[in-house]
Amino acid sequence: MRTLTCVKPGEFAYSDVLVPELIPGHALVKVKRIGICGTDLHAFEGTQPFFNYPRVLGHELAGEVVAIEAHPTYRAGDLVSIIPYFSCGTCYACSQGKTNCCSSLNVFGVHSDGGMAEFILVPIEALFKNSALDLDALALLEPLAIGAHGIKRAQIKPDEFVLIVGAGPIGLGAAAMASVAGAQVIILDMNQNRLDFAQNNLNIPYGINPNQSDARVAIKEITQGHMPRVVIDATGYKKAIENSFQYISHGGTYLLIGLQMQEIAFSHPEFHKREATLMSSRNATREDFEWVADSINLHLLDPALFITHRISFEKLVKEFPELMNPTKGVIKAMISF
């Protein structure tokens, strides 16, 4: 079978390897779709923290089960998504149902070789199916579920203001799921094309470009002086994270979906007087996948809107570097076999 490996930063290589043999508790899946995410791009450019090479990337996946032991839920021929967070099942987090932040978490395509291959062998418990969803939607469940998990963590309430900082794929997914939850969504980004995408395609009512206006003044005006009860960072950039503390309302919550590997600093008096809450949000759970799937089936969310570029697996090496070119307007690139 054909496999694509990121050998080192800036270098991919195809290889032909044996199809994995079926083992108990696992399913053999023929990969049909691979979504490209920020982790893949950062790995290619050499900026992904705690990352080892060589690595087969790919964790936004959809495929067809081709071999599996007798199972009450799954069988050969099923179209599935993959929940790529392989947990131990025994640590404290797992015992509390928080498998997304297992103390020894193995993320498929990040900590171990992933889905840029014709066939993959994954634990049966990592499979997710919904017969109403097509392959594109199944592949997009994972990035959308990351946003969904953050929205649930922040306990978004209908009609309240939510500020999403960062209009990349994760930020746009969080904005879409906040809208599904009934929030009035404000999205902030310096990329005007992405703000236009959010407003024109996802019906996000408010977009703010800090290069064109004073963001704090604009947010205060939109929220009638109260500021948003929930602020969500989806950038992962230190400066953006630290700057956004000023946008939290009194009694509000600041949720970090984006990951920054350095220390962050903020004014304790300003944070304290608000009695604000600081939270992180990591990965997603099966329940988040289910919420996104249900939202798609109820026509509250259209995953097809996120796909701006399509590439065949055999052309990926040649075209991958262009996905990082901001002039290309990439929201989500989808790879097909």
Tens digit of pLDDT for each residue in 80-111?
999 999 999 999 999 999 999 999 999 999 99
Report the candidate in 145, 142, 137, 150 with the shortest Cα–Cα distance to residue 110: 142
Count Cβ atoms below 10 Å from residue 188 Cβ, excluding itself.
27
24 and 139, same domain (yes or no): yes
| Statement to judge: residues 275 and 292 lie in one domain | no
Query: Does residue 184 sit in the same domain as residue 293?
Result: no
Residue at 30 is within a domain:
yes
Q: How far is CA 242 from the centre of its chain?
A: 22
φ/ψ of 92, rounded to 5, equals: -60, -45
For residues 280 and 255, the answer to whether their CB atoms sit within 8 Å is yes
Say if residue 175 is in the same domain as residue 253.
yes
| 150 domain-assigned | no
Q: Is residue 139 part of a domain?
A: yes
Residues 4-47: pLDDT tens digits?
A: 999 999 999 999 999 999 999 999 999 999 999 988 998 999 88
Query: What is the total count of domains within the chain?
Result: 2
pLDDT in tens, 110-139: 999 999 999 999 999 999 999 999 999 999
**Where is the domain boundary, 280, 308, 327?**
280
Contact at 8 Å (CB) between 34 and 2? no
Whether 293 and 274 map to the same domain: the answer is no
Cα 288 to its chain centre, rounded Å, is: 11
Could you tell me if 28 and 132 lie in one domain?
A: yes
CA dist., res. 104 & res. 8, Å (int): 25
H helical segments located in the chain: 38-45, 92-95, 135-153, 169-180, 192-201, 215-222, 238-243, 268-273, 286-297, 316-319
Task: Assess whether 110 and 208 both reside in one domain.
Answer: no
Q: Which helix (H) or strand (E) holds 30?
A: strand 26-36
pLDDT one-digit tens code per residue, 241-263: 999 999 999 999 999 999 888 89
Give the pLDDT confidence score for residue 50 in this predicted structure. 75
Residue 326, domain CATH: 3.90.180.10
pLDDT digits (tens, 9 = 90+) for 146-191: 999 999 999 999 999 999 999 999 999 999 999 999 999 999 999 9
* Cβ-based burial of 316 (10 A; exposed 0-12, middle 13-18, buried ≥19): buried
Q: What does the alpha-carbon distance between residue 146 and residue 177 come to, in Å, rounded to a whole number?
A: 10
Q: Percent of the chain scored above 90 by pLDDT?
A: 94
> Both 231 and 257 in a single domain?
yes
> Which pLDDT value is given to residue 327?
86
Q: Are 59 and 108 in contact (CB under 8 A)?
A: yes
Q: Count CB-CB contacts under 10 A for residue 123.
A: 15
Question: Does residue 215 share a domain with residue 111?
Answer: no
In a shared domain, residues 242 and 321: no
Tens-digit pLDDT profile for residues 47-69: 887 789 999 999 999 999 999 99
Residue 192: give its domain's CATH number. Answer: 3.40.50.720
Integer Cα distance of 238 and 104 in angstroms: 26
> Could you report the per-residue pLDDT of 258-288, keeping only the tens digit for each?
988 889 999 999 999 999 999 999 999 999 9
Q: Are 78 and 32 in contact (CB under 8 A)?
A: no
Q: Does residue 295 sit within a domain?
A: yes
Q: Classify residue 223: in a domain, yes or no.
A: yes
List all residues 6 or more positions away from 198 whose beta carbon is below 8 Å from its beta carbon: 167, 172, 175, 187, 204, 207
Q: Do the domain assignments include residue 77?
A: yes
Cα–Cα distance for residue pair 246/14, rounded to 1 Å? 47
Q: Choose the final residue of a domain: 254, 280, 306.
A: 280
pTM for this entry: 0.96
> 75 with 207, same domain?
no
Structural domain contains residue 14: yes
Please state, in angstroms and rounded to a whole number, the distance separating the CA atoms of residues 310 and 181. 30
Last residue of a domain, one of 280, 296, 324: 280
252 belongs to a structural domain: yes
* Residue 329 lies in domain: 2-145+284-336
pLDDT at 326: 84
- The dihedral through the CA atoms of 291, 295, 301, 304 has a sign that is positive
Pairwise CA distance, residues 250 & 296, whole Å: 34
| Same domain, residue pair 114 and 189 | no
